[in-house]
C-alpha cells in the first residue's frame, strides 16, 4: 500500500515537473579531455598544467573522461553541447575548470550570458577567464 502510494506520488511529481517546464533541461554530460583541451586552448598556462599532469601519469588526453555542463533542449541550436564547469580526474588529481561564457547568434553577435541570452537564437558560445583548481581524487 505504501509502495503504491509512493509510486503514484513520484509519477505525479514527474508529470508536474514536465508540465511546469521543469523537465531535465540541463545537467552533466561526459566528454573527453581532448575536447576540454580544445575548449581551453586559449589559456596556455592551464593547457600546460593539464599536459604536465598527463605526462606525469603516462596518460593520453583521449583516454581521460571528463564531465561538463550539458545544454538542455531549450537551447534550440546548442542542445547537448558541453560547457564549463568541466571536471576531470587525471591520475590521482581531480581538475575543476570554471569559465565565463557569452552566447552568440548565428552572425556572431553577442547575446549575453546564460541568464540574458535568448535560448532560441543562441547558435554558439565563447568561454573565457578560465579558473581552475586541483584536488586529490576522492
Give me the pLDDT at residue 28, please.
76
Question: For the segment 99-119, what is each residue's pLDDT rounded down to a tens digit?
Answer: 999 999 999 999 999 999 999
Confidence of residue 26 (pLDDT cuts 50, 70, 90): low
Question: For the segment 35-93, what is each residue's pLDDT rounded down to a tens digit?
Answer: 999 999 999 999 999 999 999 999 999 999 999 999 999 999 999 999 999 999 999 99
Distance CA(107)–CA(98), nearest Å, equals 26
Sign of the Cα pseudo-torsion (122, 127, 129, 135, in order): positive
Give me the pLDDT at residue 29, please.
83
Residue 134 has pLDDT above 50, yes or no: yes
Q: Which positions ≥6 away from 70 have C-beta within 8 Å? A: 26, 27, 28, 29, 80, 81, 82
Residue 7 has pLDDT above 60, yes or no: no
Distance CA(112)–CA(100), nearest Å, equals 11
Give me the pLDDT at residue 138, please.
83
Distance CA(123)–CA(51), nearest Å, equals 30
Q: What is the pTM of this model?
A: 0.78
Distance CA(73)–CA(25), nearest Å, equals 6
Give me the pLDDT at residue 19, please.
34
Residue 5 has pLDDT above 50, yes or no: no
Amino acid at each position: 500500500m505504501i509502495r503504491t502510494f509512493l509510486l503514484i506520488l513520484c509519477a505525479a511529481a514527474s508529470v508536474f515537473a514536465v508540465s511546469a517546464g521543469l523537465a531535465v533541461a540541463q545537467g552533466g554530460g561526459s566528454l573527453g579531455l581532448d575536447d576540454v583541451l580544445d575548449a581551453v586552448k586559449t589559456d596556455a598556462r592551464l593547457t600546460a598544467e593539464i599536459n604536465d599532469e598527463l605526462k606525469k601519469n603516462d596518460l593520453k588526453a583521449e583516454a581521460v573522461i571528463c564531465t561538463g555542463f550539458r545544454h538542455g533542449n531549450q537551447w534550440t541550436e546548442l542542445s547537448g553541447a558541453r560547457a564549463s564547469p568541466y571536471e576531470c580526474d587525471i591520475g590521482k588529481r581531480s581538475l575543476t575548470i570554471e569559465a565565463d561564457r557569452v552566447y552568440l547568434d548565428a552572425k556572431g553577435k553577442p547575446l549575453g550570458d546564460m541568464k540574458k541570452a535568448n535560448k532560441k537564437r543562441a547558435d554558439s558560445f565563447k568561454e573565457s577567464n578560465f579558473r581552475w583548481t586541483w584536488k586529490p581524487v576522492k
